[in-house]
Amino acid sequence: MKKITHLLLAFTLLMVLAACGSEEDNENKLVIYSPNSEDIINTIIPMFEQETGIEVELVSAGTGELLKRIETEAGNPNGDIMFGGSKAQMLGNGDLFEEYTSKNNDNMLEGHQNVGGFLTPYGADGSVILVNTDLIGDIEINGYEDLLNPELKGKIAAADPASSSSAFAQLTNMLLAMGGDYTSEEGWNYVEELVKNLDGKVASGSGNVHKGVADGEYTVGLTYEDPALSYVRDGAPVEVIYPEEGTVFLDAGVEIIKDAKHLDNAKAFADFITSEKAQNAFAQELTIRSLGKDVEIADYKKPLEEINIIEEDEEYVEEHRSEIVDTYKDVFTGAQE
């Protein structure tokens, strides 16, 4: 009987130790939801793990899909951090996130700091035109107007603004650049003419736009700076064009998911992403724009002062997102008739 009791005690002790070990392992991890490119993920996540000793579990998907997931999991989230996605999208979902201001907030550029409580900007990305230099020939591309060239009909890659955040950013960029605001007749007339030149072709996702241009499937693509510059950096036969009519740069942010199970680790990530080490990586190794003060950018990035930058009305766009998308759907459908 004593032997059985001793065995039971030993088994119980082992179970307690196992539970403690499991709890310790659980405390030493961070679950990150991210729509970011592999380039960003494969650089920043290992740096964070090495710096902190925290193990990252990554869930990659599109911004819209991840936001729906966070909303569905509200109250008992599986994720701790949302890493990526445009600031405009996140501002309309503040109830899904915890308030936290990074200890490095003052080291970020003016106008790109956490002022709303829950969103920590860490980088900026701009809407660009990607050109395959092997296919473009004598056609000159300097901006949006040049995409109406009949010689480019059916040769322009573009995604659907209703399902792609980067395509939606392109849509609002061109409306602002070509019409001065988001409702003008001039802006929407341009969109209609561009849609006709797409010749009914719509890429299945934003990744297929830049990949399609780099692979020679399309001559030109409407995409965003981060993946476009990665092709330039790696020597692909492409050129990045910043529309002469104006380019919008949108902040990307990190947000801590409300009721995160690894809250301290999530705060550590927000602190790390705004640190000098991470911001220098964005500036010199990666293709997204750093928002840290006094960083030196890589030579494959065009200096911002050489780009015609126009400012998006983020509040208006967020409030009228569905209207803008619905108008685009009507324009697209009409152009196919």
Q: Please tell me the predicted confidence (pLDDT) of residue 26.
A: 59
Q: Please tell me the predicted confidence (pLDDT) of residue 116.
A: 77
Beta strands in the chain (DSSP E): 29-34, 55-60, 81-86, 97-98, 120-132, 156-157, 220-224, 238-241, 249-257, 289-290
Encoding tokens for residue 29? Answer: 């991890």
Residue 163 sits at φ, ψ, to 5 deg, of: -125, -10
Q: Please tell me the predicted confidence (pLDDT) of residue 25.
A: 43
pLDDT at 186 over 70: yes
Summary mean pLDDT of the chain? 89
Confidence band (pLDDT; 50, 70, 90) for 8? very low
Q: Please tell me the predicted confidence (pLDDT) of residue 11.
A: 45
* Top-confidence residue, 336 or 78: 78
Name the CA radius of gyration of the chain, rounded: 23
Distance CA 154, CA 175 (A): 21
Encoding tokens for residue 337? Answer: 């008739």
Q: Please tell me the predicted confidence (pLDDT) of residue 9.
A: 46
Distance CA 95, CA 235 (A): 43
Question: DSSP string spanning 323-337?
Answer: HHHHHHHHHHHHHT-
Condensed to tens digits (0 to 9), the pLDDT of residues 293-322 reads 888 888 888 888 899 999 999 889 988 999
pLDDT at 161 over 80: yes
In sequence order, the 6+-apart residues with CB closer than 8 A to the CB of 294 are none
* Top-confidence residue, 47 or 10: 47
- The predicted model scores a pTM of 0.78
Could you tell me whether strands 81-86 and 29-34 are parallel, antiparallel, or unpaired per DSSP bridges? parallel
pLDDT at 103 over 90: yes
Distance CA 246, CA 311 (A): 9
Residue 320: count of CB within 10 angstroms of its CB? 16
Length of the chain as a residue count: 337
